Structure 1
């Protein structure tokens, strides 16, 4: 069993995921610990997230429309 993602698979940092969801990076880490988001650990122990999974989760959230007055 291989724990390595496919070479062509894009991975995002917690900061990149946080900016997409407009939350703090610590929130992204809590989501991973709660099992809401799958994380991959680098050799240095840092978390990375599969872009495809993040985009899928993001697409499930209704978008807020900017209101102009």
Structure 2
């Protein structure tokens, strides 16, 4: 289970995830997530301290698209 590092946004701001939280969702190493961001596969923003953060909505959309691609296609 992913534990958010920030309280839920109340002002309409986007919830941000750490590389570790994203890695947990995709079941990969956090360094893989950082490589994806460097390669442009997933968008990231930098905190004033230089750490990467990822928009939860973008991460969930990416996860959903990868999951749907992996599902077998049904024929009617």
TM-score by length of 2: 0.72
Q: Is 1:19 equivalent to 2:40 in the alignment?
A: no
Q: Secondary structure at the match of 2:66?
A: coil
- C-alpha RMSD of the superposition: 1.8
Name the CA distance, whole Å, in 2 between partners of 1:18 and 1:47: 13
Give runs of aligned pairs for residues 37-56 of structure 1, distance below 5 A.
Answer: 37-56=42-61
Larger helix proportion, structure 1 or 2?
2
Q: Gaps (5+ residues) in structure 2?
A: 1-10, 72-76
TM-score by length of 1: 0.79
Match of 2:8 in 1: none
Which aligned runs of 4 or more in structure 1 are off by greater than 3 angstroms?
A: none
Q: Gaps (5+ residues) in structure 1?
A: 1-5, 65-69
Name the CA distance, whole Å, in 1 between partners of 2:36 and 2:61: 15
